[in-house]
Structure 1
């Protein structure tokens, strides 16, 4: 049995995951360059929902679920079809994320709490930039809001 990746990979929420071992066949239709070299088959794949824009990512991972490369689509179906073009037979190997929404939120809090805005509570994927001083953060959304109130 394959060990599931963490609930969050690269600021994206895990939806499903799979290994590319037989009977899956790498088709060679994946055209991704990494450090100037054409990337070969990845041993593990994860489909994740980007938390900032809700787009769907196909993450190509090593055997320890470290992300090697990614491709993006507008829907789960689009990304599943892309994965099947690149890895024939993968459609039968997908395993749904074992994590509940509550488990995901707990994991996100444990891993990224220090990146939340200290004023509004936004997560790091909900803002563009933040300023941090002595363990406190203020996001660009709050800075703009405070500026408008002070200058208005």
Structure 2
């Protein structure tokens, strides 16, 4: 199967038209790409991607939900060890904060961008996350969202 450009050149060789490559317009490109509009707090964004559903599912499946349990299990063994006890306690505290941040990011993405959580989480800053969480806590009607709470 020949490309569009080879077809144009074949026609040109037969004298049927100019030997110029075919041009795909912007409209052709836009029609083949998924577009998702979402917000982080009150700032609107647009994601353009070949297959947002597949990307979102791949992202969500890549979240290692057993990671935090692993950190705790590894750290428990060292808590009683005088040489590593403080390191183990610090590791567990960091895992707690990391786990909380991950949970809150997933909640924010669920509320504001359920069809593209990978884009929302990648774009959301710590300050934006605080705004989103404050508005969720206050029952904020000002929060742009894609679902009703």
TM value normalised by structure 2: 0.24
Bigger fraction of residues in helix: 2
| Structure with higher RCO (Cα < 8 A, 6+ apart) | 2
Q: Give the structure-1-normalised TM-score.
A: 0.24
Q: Greater strand percent: which structure? A: 1
